[in-house]
Structure 1
């Protein structure tokens, strides 16, 4: 009886234990399959798939006329699941040549532990289709956007470029990355438990990509082409190292063209050095030379410490200051302020600087924007260099007065020069006009912004007349354009030698700055040429480039010539010319000529430099050379 009760008790305890165990296991199964199903499903999904972010379609960069400068196209990218490759050697032999890849590189990809590696991205669709038709195991294909620059090197350094993942690296592509980039798509590659790909396609998982915003520039592609063509031609003719040009609307601050030579093609960015990729008009600092005399004269007139006719003694082209001797290219005696700028005397410029004094000149140059960035919407802008006032001695005052011992950028010069042309206002330069979302919403739109007035209208008008004299009668004659009033200034500066702290004896930076038409400027242009070997004077090297660009742009912008100006011309110096040469000139300019004697011209009337009209009677006295 007692044994029977014991057995019943044991059976009862065992039954309760077994029943409880089944209940516990059942609950655990319910918890895993129902309560935590999402968690474990996500874990399993994570183990059997890999997530990648595919680049979105970037926004388009347009010029002011909606011509694409940088855009995206769909290209085929080729990828590999290394664990699915059955014959690595055969695969490498088959696709190495059409893809332009080495066999060793392809074989190394097949040995990767990853379930997904890129073979080549942005491949030509035709080539990709041929490889797809081969049916190679482990090879897959994906459509993704590719960045292209349809105009090649046009505006190359300014536009910049993107890397293979479509991230902006330099230029506008970098500076406006957030706006242009868009939102990437998340894509998932499904694999089995061993990491082998289950599917050969990239599957959209969470979201589709969102296209980036479009950016509309102020640049005109046609004007850019004119600028680059003339710049390249001039630099090659002078056998120079490099150069730059920047053209802006002086009334608004809009940049119409911006060129750096040698050119850079962002489609092949890997083939170019970092130096070539630099956007010279904003990045390169240089000593301006005599172009700075424009702002010296403006300061003198604005401070009413002299006028156009104030005279200075140029000491026949040579003057000592401390251990330094300042020289002029051509010696002069007494020159007015206007003549000092026209003939570009360093000695008289120094004396103008002395009249102003260190503080007034320093503060005025700062006011014109030198020594700090102008705030253009481009990355990499340099500040130039201007010493603080406390570091100005007598020598610094002298050299800065004629543009040495100070460095500037082309965009600083163009901005400051524009204030002369527009009546005294410093305009904020800009190159991005508008940003538009994929839905067509205007996210940002710029309009002209006046930073401040730097000189009076009266001063600006007087300086403009002086700069017209530079082009008509002075060092800038090669910038003269028939029928148009052109205001400008030449610059020739020795280049500093960073190794010695002195200047090179035979390396120069030649420049020309100017605007036209002088009475109602529509364009302001800066041209700089580094280390020309044929000539070094700005009037010979840079002025012809300025003329070539400006002449074409005025015609393109349909700005008519001044009829009165067109009828007038300046009598050239015909001394030592033959009668045949005189007749050739006379026929071209439609003037009448009378010869006295035979041989070569020894004197003429009207004299050279005199303004004449078509139909003017000109007399030439000729004598035989013995």
Structure 2
């Protein structure tokens, strides 16, 4: 075997060795690297044969090896040996084995549950189960608002591999806009987006099936619910509405949101690696708890009839809007609260969500004389037997007030003043009562403060402090001008007389039924005495005269005594502060018309307040609001089976059914929930004539403005 190493020289050194001591710079002195010498690679390229090239390569490699060995020797013996290497390797392997063993013991013996949980968290998730919102029902168990289970179609855009194809499939199966959906799918960094909300679960399943067939992942469904009103817009202002997330935003849905809202539950589901749920792998978690159900005092039949009659009247009279309240004066239970309004663009009259019975204030006119007269009687400023000399005109301060029609100075008892709705007689009593006394009476009857119901947007009306009144303020407020009240305040005030002087707060919720079946009756509100029983009985008698032979005599019901009062008030013009809206004579005025009362007067079981805002064709409380009061009274008497209190009169065993125009002993039957189109009735043709008015939401005159008031009587043209 040929030795590749060249022989050493005589001096023991190899050829080419410089004799320079080996050191750290030895590498820089390697042969072939000196200036002017050719490198091995250059030599190989100039070689003539392959053998010569190989020999040159081998010689170069040997020289480099010798140079490296010489350098290592010059640096001394190595600091480690092969045995040290072996021991180090064994130690490292042993340590790693110990670590693996410890980890295995920890995973399998010490804390296996922790690692099972970590694994489960990668494939198992908790889904929220929304608690079903409670149902709102009328007093007879008819559903007014309930929730149905639906789903939301959602997407994780980061998981969608083909946004264009996905947008095409979803848009083709739903009403989702294709371009808007694609924009959501390609939004950078987005991990969540709604595709469609409140979908039918069957429709959502079909969409997911199409996506799965196309091998598109990232789409899911989540449980949700939708609030529906089986009766349509019936009582919508009272029941209220919810937003798309199921939270109450108006009416009872808002103020009772905490009771109605259910408690969410949880469901355990397993996910595949692509994020889709594994079928039949769901496990029960904590169940959702439905919210409480509310049973209202409202009666769907009477509510439907109130809205139907009110829409017909507003439409027929050319009015702007209208409010009707029907209830039981003994308990304060509201049986119907109707709010209708004319659409300015379409001219169509329909129920509205604006709860004007609570949120709108009006100058109500002569219906407010009840408070003035009752206050004078309660404080001993007059008595039932007193006779007053009542002129046609009366000057108060710098204004002259008058009754509606001229009459010579009459000798009238106080009940005559009420029956004839005399402005002058009422102002004379108010002057005896004084400003502080009238304010006290008004506040005792509930004016100037909101009701205990606390519905959203409810107002307390406008009643200024009496210490700032002028003499004309006292006179105007006494006859229902210069003070703004809400329809619910009027309804509650007339109930004071019906309840022999006790104020009974209105009620809307009869009971609450919890998800466990527990029933909680709503506690009645705090009652308080306003006037003495004998004063209430005398006022009851005076109000009966209004219907028997006064301003509302055309609205008698055979067999029943009715205690009521009509009211007509001029509306203030917000632009100039006066009651004149432009034009000559009565054409320059706009009115609020009211009819409020209860029946049977001997045993009050039904109380009704009707208000029409700005009627055009009939402009007095008797002619504009009276027909609605009469129709609702007949419907209520039939439906509630209230017996007559004048059985000796002819025809008292029958009450005209307003819906059919026929006489019947049968009660009004339940009407279908969807609201019928307004239709004219044969009952109580509305008569033209007389001054009247209808108030608009939020209208209120400033104290000190003298205006017109009364149905058959009115203030003179005092708009200073």
Aligned residues: CA RMSD:
3.5
- Tell me how far apart the structure 1 counterparts of residues 116 and 593 of structure 2 sit (CA, whole Å): 71
Name which of 538, 541, 556 aligns with 1:465. 541
Compute the displacement of 1:468 (Å): 1.0
Higher-strand-fraction structure? 1
SS at match of 1:419: helix
Compute the displacement of 1:52 (Å): 5.7
1:60 to 2:143 alignment:
no
Q: 2:596 — aligned with what? A: 513
Question: What are the residue-to-residue correspondences of 1:441-460 with 2, within 5 Å?
Answer: 441-442=518-519, 444-449=520-525, 451-460=527-536
Question: What are the residue-to-residue correspondences of 1:287-306 with 2, within 5 Å?
Answer: 287-306=363-382
Equivalent pair of 2:332/2:507 in contact (CA under 8 Å): yes
Q: 1:107 — aligned with what? A: 182
Question: What are the residue-to-residue correspondences of 1:81-160 with 2, within 5 Å?
Answer: 81-85=156-160, 87-96=162-171, 99-112=174-187, 113-124=189-200, 127-128=203-204, 131=207, 134-135=210-211, 137-138=216-217, 139-142=219-222, 144-160=224-240
- Tell me how far apart the structure 2 counterparts of residues 384 and 38 of structure 1 sit (CA, whole Å): 66
Compute the displacement of 1:55 (Å): 2.7
1:525 to 2:604 alignment:
no
Q: 5+ residue gaps in structure 2? A: 1-77, 582-588, 653-720
Equivalent pair of 2:306/2:324 in contact (CA under 8 Å): yes
1:252 to 2:331 alignment:
yes
- From the superposition, tell whether residues 246 and 48 of structure 1 become closer, same or farther in structure 2 (CA, over 3 Å): same
Compute the displacement of 1:184 (Å): 1.5
Compute the displacement of 1:21 (Å): 5.9
Q: 2:298 — aligned with what? A: 219
- Tell me how far apart the structure 2 counterparts of residues 499 and 173 of structure 1 sit (CA, whole Å): 37
Question: What are the residue-to-residue correspondences of 1:481-496 with 2, within 5 Å?
Answer: 481-496=557-572
**Which stretch of structure 1 is more off in the superposition, 470-479 or 483-492?**
470-479
Compute the displacement of 1:403 (Å): 1.1
Q: 1:425 — aligned with what? A: 502
Q: 5+ residue gaps in structure 1? A: 265-271, 570-626
Q: 1:235 — aligned with what? A: 314
- Tell me how far apart the structure 2 counterparts of residues 142 and 4 of structure 1 sit (CA, whole Å): 69
Compute the displacement of 1:224 (Å): 1.0
SS at match of 1:169: coil
Equivalent pair of 2:307/2:338 in contact (CA under 8 Å): yes
**Which stretch of structure 1 is more off in the superposition, 93-102 or 23-32?**
23-32
Name which of 385, 394, 398 aligns with 1:319. 394
Name which of 335, 347, 350 aligns with 2:427. 350
Equivalent pair of 1:157/1:263 in contact (CA under 8 Å): no
- From the superposition, tell whether residues 105 and 396 of structure 1 become closer, same or farther in structure 2 (CA, over 3 Å): same
Compute the displacement of 1:560 (Å): 2.5
Bigger radius of gyration: 2
- From the superposition, tell whether residues 565 and 343 of structure 1 become closer, same or farther in structure 2 (CA, over 3 Å): farther
TM-score, structure 2 length as denominator?
0.70
TM-score, structure 1 length as denominator?
0.79
- Tell me how far apart the structure 2 counterparts of residues 109 and 534 of structure 1 sit (CA, whole Å): 56
Q: 1:307 — aligned with what? A: 383
- From the superposition, tell whether residues 44 and 565 of structure 1 become closer, same or farther in structure 2 (CA, over 3 Å): farther
Name which of 549, 565, 570 aligns with 2:632. 549
- From the superposition, tell whether residues 526 and 142 of structure 1 become closer, same or farther in structure 2 (CA, over 3 Å): same
Equivalent pair of 1:246/1:258 in contact (CA under 8 Å): yes
**Which stretch of structure 1 is more off in the superposition, 348-357 or 15-24?**
15-24
Compute the displacement of 1:36 (Å): 6.9
1:285 to 2:361 alignment:
yes
What is the count of residue pairs matched by the alignment? Answer: 555
Compute the displacement of 1:243 (Å): 1.4
SS at match of 2:431: helix
- Tell me how far apart the structure 1 counterparts of residues 111 and 190 of structure 2 sit (CA, whole Å): 30
1:262 to 2:333 alignment:
no
Summarize deviations over 1:18-58 as a string: whole Å, max 9, x none: 64565456546655787677667767766777766443211
- Tell me how far apart the structure 1 counterparts of residues 380 and 320 of structure 2 sit (CA, whole Å): 42
